[in-house]
Amino acid sequence: MIITIVGGGSTFTPGIVTSIALRQKELGVTEVRLFDNDEERQSKVGVVVDWILKDMKSPIKLTVTTDKETAYKDAKFIFAQMRVGKYAMREQDEKISLRHGVVGQETCGPGGMAYGLRTIFPMIEVIDDVEKYAAKDHWILNYSNPAAIVAIACHKLRPNARIINICDMPIAILEMIGKCVGIEDYESIDVDYFGLNHFGWFTRMEYQGRDIVKEIREYCKETGIMLPKMHIEAIKKHMGTGDRHANQSWIKVWTNVCKLMEMNSEYVPNTYMTYYMFPKENVEHSDPNYTRANEVMDTREKTLFEGVDRYLATGEIDKKVFYAGAHGNFIADLAVALLGKCDRKFIVIEPNNGKVPNLPDDVMIELPAVVGVNGPVQDNFGPIKTFYKGMIEQQNACEQLLVEGAIEGSYEKVLHAFALNKTVPSIQVAKEILDEMMEANKDYWPELK
Ligand code: NAD
Ligand code: G6P
Ligand code: MN
Q: Domain ranges in the chain?
A: 171-182+196-300
Nearest ligand to residue 244 Cα: 2
pLDDT at 251: 92
Would you call 379 helix, strand, or coil by DSSP? coil
pLDDT > 80? residue 71: yes
Nearest ligand to residue 169 Cα: 2
Whether the Cβ atoms of residue 390 and residue 376 lie closer than 8 Å to each other: no
Does 168 contact ligand 2 (Cβ within 6 A)?
Answer: yes
Among 103, 143, 145, residue to substitute to test ligand 2 (most atoms within 8 Å of Cβ): 145
Instruction: Report the C-alpha gap between 16 and 330 in whole angstroms.
Output: 9
Nearest ligand to residue 330 Cα: 1
Whether the Cβ atoms of residue 412 and residue 403 lie closer than 8 Å to each other: no
Sign of CA dihedral 21, 85, 47, 123: positive
pLDDT at 243: 84
Share the mean pLDDT of the chain: 97
For residues 387, 389, 390, 391, the Cα torsion angle rounded to the nearest 10 degrees is 80
Amino acid at 1: M
Predicted confidence band at 51 (pLDDT cuts at 50, 70, 90)?
very high
Does 379 contact ligand 1 (Cβ within 6 A)?
Answer: no
pLDDT > 90? residue 48: yes
pLDDT at 235: 86
pLDDT at 419: 98
pLDDT > 90? residue 248: no
Percent over 70 (pLDDT), the chain: 100
Residue nearest to atom 39 of ligand 1 (CA): 167
Q: What is the mean pLDDT of residues 24-51?
A: 98
pLDDT > 90? residue 423: yes
pLDDT at 312: 96
pLDDT > 80? residue 240: no
Among 11, 82, 108, residue to substitute to test ligand 1 (most atoms within 8 Å of Cβ): 82
Quick one: DSSP state of residue 298? I
Q: What is the mean pLDDT of residues 212-221?
A: 98
Task: Kindly give the number of the ligand 2 atom that is closest to the alpha carbon of 247.
Answer: 14
Does 82 contact ligand 2 (Cβ within 6 A)?
Answer: no
Beta bridge partners of 141: 79, 164
pLDDT > 80? residue 140: yes
Centre of ligand 1 from the C-alpha of residue 116, in Å: 13
Work out the end-to-end distance of the chain between its first and last CA atoms, rounded to an integer number of angstroms.
45
Among 34, 70, 81, 126, residue to substitute to test ligand 1 (most atoms within 8 Å of Cβ): 81
pLDDT at 239: 77
- Please give the angle made by the CA atoms of 33, 15 and 339, to the nearest 5 degrees: 60
Q: Which residues are identified as catalytic?
A: 168, 272
For residues 365, 5, 330, 278, the Cα torsion angle rounded to the nearest 10 degrees is -50
Task: Kindly give the number of the ligand 2 atom that is closest to the alpha carbon of 169.
Answer: 8
Task: Kindly give the number of the ligand 1 atom that is closest to the alpha carbon of 126.
Answer: 19
Interval 326-355: pLDDT, tens: 999 999 999 999 999 998 999 999 999 999
Instruction: Report the C-alpha gap between 171 and 344 in whole angstroms.
Output: 12
pLDDT at 246: 82
Interval 78-87: pLDDT, tens: 999 999 999 9
Predicted confidence band at 188 (pLDDT cuts at 50, 70, 90)?
very high
182: buried, middle or exposed (CB in 10 Å: 19+, 13-18, 0-12)?
A: exposed
- Residue 109 region, left (φ>0) first, then alpha (ψ -120 to 50), else beta? left
Task: Kindly give the number of the ligand 2 atom that is closest to the alpha carbon of 147.
Answer: 9
pLDDT at 241: 76
- Concatenate the DSSP letters of all residues of 382-426 into one string: ----HHHHHHHHHHHHHHHHHHHHHHHT-HHHHHHHHHHSTT---
Does 324 contact ligand 2 (Cβ within 6 A)?
Answer: no
**Residue 421: closest CA among 121, 88, 100, 87:** 100
Predicted confidence band at 244 (pLDDT cuts at 50, 70, 90)?
confident
**C-alpha 313 chain-centroid distance:** 33
Beta bridge partners of 367: 348
Q: What is the mean pLDDT of residues 131-141?
A: 98
pLDDT at 185: 95
The residues, any chain, with a CB within 8 Å of residue 202's CB and separated by 6 or more, are 170, 173, 191, 192, 193, 213, 267, 268, 269, 270
Lowest mean pLDDT among 199-203, 322-326, 435-439: 322-326
Instruction: Report the C-alpha gap between 433 and 284 in whole angstroms.
Output: 18
Does 345 contact ligand 1 (Cβ within 6 A)?
Answer: no
Centre of ligand 2 from the C-alpha of residue 90, in Å: 12
Q: What is the model's pTM?
A: 0.98
Amino acid at 87: Y
Interval 299-325: pLDDT, tens: 999 999 999 999 999 999 999 999 999
Would you call 66 helix, strand, or coil by DSSP? coil
Centre of ligand 2 from the C-alpha of residue 181, in Å: 23
Instruction: Report the C-alpha gap between 348 and 371 in whole angstroms.
Output: 10
Name the fold adopted by 171-182+196-300.
L-2-Hydroxyisocaproate Dehydrogenase; Chain A, domain 2 (3.90.110)
Nearest ligand to residue 150 Cα: 1
